[in-house]
Amino acid sequence: MPHDTQALNRTRQCFAGLDSVWVFGYGSLIFKADFPYIERRPARIDHWQRRFWQGSHDHRGTPEAPGRVLTLVEVPGSSCKGMAYRVHPDVFAHLDHREKNGYLRFETAFHFDDGSEVNGLVYIANSDNAAWLGPAPESDIAEHIANSRGPSGPNDEYVLRLAQALRELDETDAHVFAIEAYLHLLAAQTDED
Ligand code: BEZ
């Protein structure tokens, strides 16, 4: 799969006749909603978990030195809490551009806190995309993140803002919080030097 997934995403779903579509944010879409939305609601999707296994060439790193950003991996029985946005279909041109570095749109069920559910779209980067970095120990991932930056800013800012946004959603994410803790340790060590 190419680095730039915009053309692929345009062929994946048909929005003809739809006034609105739900999209699920599990990473930067939770804390950076730089698009118009009709409504937003905390929601969860089942059988997926966050992992910092995707390379970022365009936001938190560069093609020569990719940063590490989130994707979702399938873990049966798990769930992932995030933020669901109901948007006009035109918004996907912006989102496809923003998330063009290996992410494809998939349809899945969103579950709201009141027990209701809707179908919507979520961007996921699979292991067959050109920017995939894959698993590594969380301490190594934190070290990589601490040393990366790109056009959207330092890579560690992404983790720290995400961890804060998850706490505001009352979500505990062991992977994200472990990497956040390692980043604090690394920052404390740097301060000592
Ligand atoms: C999200 O926040 O949902 C998201 C994360 C990575 C890529 C695309 C979307």
pLDDT digits (tens, 9 = 90+) for 64-82: 999 999 999 999 999 999 9
pLDDT at 2: 65
Correct CATH for 6-192 of 3.30.565.10, 3.10.490.10, 3.30.465.10, 3.40.50.300: 3.10.490.10
On the question of pLDDT at 155 being above 90, the answer is yes
Ligand 1 near 55 CB (within 6 A): no
pLDDT at 7: 87
- pLDDT class of 191 with cuts at 50, 70, 90: confident
Ligand 1 near 28 CB (within 6 A): yes
Which atom of ligand 1 is least distant from the CA of 125? 7
Report how far ligand 1's centroid is from the alpha carbon of 191 (Å). Answer: 32
Tell me the average pLDDT across 126-137.
Answer: 95
Ligand 1 near 158 CB (within 6 A): no
Out of 123, 132, 152, 176, mutate this one to test ligand 1's pocket (max ligand atoms within 8 Å of CB): namely 123
Q: Which residues are catalytic?
A: 99
pLDDT at 1: 67
Tell me the average pLDDT across 184-191.
Answer: 91
Which atom of ligand 1 is least distant from the CA of 69? 6
Query: Cα dihedral sign for 68, 106, 25, 57?
Result: positive
Tell me the average pLDDT across 183-193.
Answer: 89
- The pLDDT tens digits of the residues spanning 5-46 come to 888 879 888 888 999 999 999 999 999 999 999 999 999 999
Which atom of ligand 1 is least distant from the CA of 122? 3
On the question of pLDDT at 58 being above 90, the answer is no
What residues contact residue 145 under an 8 Å CB cut-off, 6+ apart? 52, 60, 67, 68, 155, 156, 158, 159, 179, 183
**Domain segments of the chain: what residues?**
6-192
- CB neighbour class for 57 (10 Å; exposed up to 12, middle 13-18, buried from 19): buried
CA distances from 191 to 181, 185, 186 (A): 15, 10, 9
Tell me the average pLDDT across 127-131.
Answer: 93
